[in-house]
Structure 1
Amino acid sequence: MHCQFCHHEQTRVLDSRLIDNGMGIRRRRECLNCHRRFSTIERSQLMVVKRDGVPEEFDREKVIRGVRRACQGREVSESQLKKLAQKVEERLREKGTPRIDSNDIGLAILEPLRELDEVGYLRFASVYKSFTSADDFAREIASLRREISAEEPPAG
């Protein structure tokens, strides 16, 4: 790490702390030449490989925008959208690879969106899964109903 003041190539780390729920590290450093101190923030990059093969850095805001569009007119708050986007990013990072396919983002969105808002889920799924007919919606609704009934405890 180069010193930001004198550009000397050697610094030493005085302190390291996790930030942003473990998504980054803040390091306090000291230059071995001029002895001035400064902080750095290190973040792991999560790269998304788009359908055309072009990589770009993961953007949580894009997830929020897509889900917001699917939930337009629904009772979904901005904080709920942010929490969903955080869950999606955490799921993607759990894969342990710095590069993910854009398709994996859609898959990671589906389950938390279904839990958040079923109508938003159906809207998102219709685009993500390229529904072409009402039958596609009917199949997805039937699948959703089966999942819901399997999750409900038996009456008794």
Structure 2
Amino acid sequence: MKCPFCNKDDTRVVDSRPVDDNSSIRRRRMCDACGKRFTTYEKVETIPLIVIKKDQNREQYDRRKIENGVIRACYKRPISAQQITAVVDQIETLVFSREEREVSSEVIGEIVMDQLKELDPVAYVRFASVYREFKDVNTFMDELKKLLK
């Protein structure tokens, strides 16, 4: 690491500690050449994930969209904010563990439905009815029958 004061490469780490959210590390460094101290932050570099929508448009992955969908599906259900956050974290882990730069919205939707099915059957059916665009009561009943099996 180059010293920002004298531009020499002779620096060493004096102290390391995680930042409040545990997503990066704060390092205090000291330059062996000039003796000055400075701080650096180290963070894991993530590959931006692109979502391929149904109409083949591409957009950057946005966690808030999944959160909003799960929150709407869980509306007035006995599900805590912690449970919702945990489900969204699990969904995000499953999506990113695929290690693909592009993922279709259908894949994400199926992952969300699988996680909601385990969390709450009513939330699952609510999400599925919007996601799968149920056109009539028969389609809705077919999904309920699958759930009951």
**Bin of the TM-score, shorter chain as denominator length:** 0.7 to 0.9
- For 2:126 and 2:67, locate their aligned partners in 1 and report how far apart those are by CA, in whole Å: 15
Q: Name the residue aligned to 1:42.
A: 44
Q: Which has the larger radius of gyration?
A: 2
The answer as to 2:107 corresponding to 1:135 is: no
Provide the rounded CA distance (Å) in 2 between the counterparts of 1:142 and 1:125: 13
Instruction: Count how many residue pairs are aligned between Structure 1 and Structure 2.
Output: 142
Matches within 5 A, 1:48-127: 48-51=50-53, 52-56=56-60, 58-127=61-130
Identity of aligned residues (%): 28
Q: CA deviation at 1:16?
A: 9.3
Tell me if structure 2 keeps the 8 A contact 1:29–1:40: no
| SS of alignment partner, residue 100 of structure 1 | strand
Deviation at 1:55, TM superposition (A): 2.6
* Partner secondary structure for residue 64 of structure 1: helix
**Contact 1:8 1:31 (C-alpha < 8 Å) held by counterparts:** no
Tell whether the 8 Å contact from 1:46 to 1:100 is kept in structure 2 after alignment.
Answer: no
Structure 1: distance between partners of 2:72 and 2:141: 21
TM-score (norm 2): 0.74
